[in-house]
Amino acid sequence: MRTATVERKTKETDIFVSVNLDGNGEYDVDTGIGFLDHMLESFSKHSLIDLKVRADGDLHIDMHHTTEDTGIVIGQAVAKALGDFKGIRRFGTAMIPMDETCTRASVDVSNRPYLIWKVEFKRPKVGDMDTELFKEWFQAFAQNGGITLHMENLYGENSHHIVESCYKALANALRHAIEIDPRRADEVPSTKGVLGIDDDVDI
């Protein structure tokens, strides 16, 4: 079982995350931000990653630190659970419609973090949450998960639908990318034989 637990405590947030990459999409999430909880639950459900999150942040200031730091710790937990990345498919792409909206996510789980973010929102907030914070979450997740992530909203009007389609697209793309490929279950999916950021590694 590819599992991991990560705890991160700063003066701004105190976050606990546990993941099981080979789970059933079971979730237990409490960040103190209702809409973020909803998105993380959707991410867990559609990626089939079992996810537990407890976040205690400085919400009396705003939601920025809690949102970003939650992305950091979930990304770290996923990377830790992947270990040496052996056997994974590595790449995944998903195009997810939600009513009038359609969003595409492509991932390379290579320990080479990068985010391309082509998502624009029609409103500055979804509920009480600033829509600009979602890029912060995806950036933090990709950077700490070692994932190249290209996220593109192709079209859409409703900001709730746009955000939710982003999380569902990521979940489905990641689900495929981290699955064990039975044809090379004992191999690292790279011609170099290693996945990682290193001065001597050019993947």
pLDDT, tens digit, 9 for 90 and up, residues 135-155: 999 999 999 999 999 999 999
pTM (2 d.p.): 0.94
Q: Is 160 a member of any domain?
A: yes
pLDDT over threshold 70, residue 105: yes
For residue 156, the 8-state DSSP code is -
Q: Among 87, 62, 58, which Cα is nearest to 182's?
A: 87
Q: Is 58 a member of any domain?
A: yes
56: domain range? 3-184
Taking CA atoms, 55 is separated from 14, 71, 167, 186, in Å, by 6, 11, 19, 36
Number of domains forming the structure of the chain? 1
Radius of gyration of the chain (CA): 16
HSE at residue 102, side-chain half, CA atoms within 13 A, is 4
101: CATH: 3.30.230.40
Q: Is 192 a member of any domain?
A: no
Average pLDDT of the chain is 94
What pLDDT is attached to residue 191?
66
- Distance, in Å, from the CA atom of 41 to the CA atom of 30, rounded to the nearest integer, reads 10
Q: Is 16 a member of any domain?
A: yes
Per-residue pLDDT reduced to its tens digit, 181-202 = 998 888 887 767 677 544 344 4
Judged by average pLDDT, the poorest of 22-26, 42-46, 63-67, 193-197 is 193-197
